[in-house]
Amino acid sequence: DGGITQSPKYLFRKEGQNVTLSCEQNLNHDAMYWYRQDPGQGLRLIYYSQIVNDFQKGDIAEGYSVSREKKESFPLTVTSAQKNPTAFYLCASSIGRQGVGEKLFFGSGTQLSVL
Amino acid sequence: QKEVEQNSGPLSVPEGAIASLNCTYSDRGSQSFFWYRQYSGKSPELIMFIYSNGDKEDGRFTAQLNKASQYVSLLIRDSQPSDSATYLCAVKSGGYQKVTFGIGTKLQVIP
């Protein structure tokens, strides 16, 4: 079945530690996204990528880094510079056609907590 | 000014009534508008999308877009308790793949 796989489902970070959240899609989508959701809040865009080897900062990129070396994969690293990383992280993808309304396909999310 | 604004609610409606959810956006170049439903602890799922002025209907759901007023709304007719969820408005910037979400409106349908 085609879809987006996020792992792990739960992740714990120690102070000063970098952690990486995995996101893999087999939908052959060009565009991929990372969002952060805090309790009772909407989704805030961290990074997005329109095509392989290209990505753009979203609204809250500080303390995060990404790579897009393969079309299928868009891992997110939460660095030690992110002082408040506890949140629900959602990865999404879309076909990526310019100017066309198209749905985002979401993974099941990763809940990151600080020890 | 936030790019996409929604009232966080909660919006409470009785079962069978019409629920009206509203959203405004700041970027006049925005081309595509989406409504997602999110149950607690789950990922958002697409309910409707619209990109032309006017109304778009799909079953019990109607999306309305007014680009001159930078306003998009979602109407849910014959509301059911299973409709109780958070409804997220999302806007795609014209020419780019950036999709921005509002904070979501929590809807409670009272049996």
pLDDT tens readout for residues A12-61 = 988 889 999 999 999 999 999 999 999 878 899 999 998 999 999 998 99
| Nearest Cβ partner for B43 among A41, A58, A107 | A107
Give the pLDDT of residue A95: 84
pLDDT for B48 beyond 80: yes
Of the partner residues A40, A48, A106, the one whose CB lies closest to the CB of residue B44: A106
Question: Cβ B97–A40 below 8 Å, yes or no?
Answer: no
3-state secondary structure of A47: strand
The answer, for B52 touching chain A at a CB cutoff of 8 Å, is no
Model confidence band, residue B69 (pLDDT cutoffs 50, 70, 90): very high
User: Can you give the pLDDT at residue B1?
Assistant: 64
Q: What pLDDT sits at residue B86?
A: 95
User: How close is the nearest chain A Cα to the Cα of B92, in Å?
Assistant: 8
Interchain proximity B99–A42, CB inside 8 Å: no
Contact yes or no for B44 and A43 at CB 8 A = yes
Question: Looking at residue A53, what is its pLDDT?
Answer: 94
First CA to last CA across chain A, in angstroms? 35
pLDDT of residue B41: 86
Name the residue type at position A21: L
Strand partners for A11: A112
Task: Note the pLDDT of residue A41.
Answer: 80
pLDDT higher than threshold 70 for residue B96: no
Among the residue ranges A94-103, B17-26, B76-85, the one predicted with the least confidence is A94-103
Instruction: State mean pLDDT over B21-38.
Output: 93
B77 with B62: CB under 8 angstroms? yes
What is the reported pLDDT for B99? 86
B44 falls in which pLDDT band (50, 70, 90)?
A: very high
Tell me the nearest-neighbour CA distance from A6 into chain B, angstroms: 12
The answer to whether B87 contacts chain A (CB < 8 Å) is no
From the candidates B43, B72, B106, which should be mutated to test the interface with A, based on the most A CB atoms within 10 A?
B43
Q: Inspect the interface and report whether the beta carbons of A101 and B92 lie closer than 8 Å.
A: yes
With an 8 Å Cβ cutoff, is B34 touching chain A?
yes
**DSSP codes, A75-111:** -EEE-TT-S---EEEEEEEE---TT---PPEE---EE
Query: pLDDT band at A1, cuts 50/70/90?
Result: low
For B54: left if phi > 0, alpha if psi spans -120 to 50, otherwise beta; the answer is left
Per-residue pLDDT, A16: 86
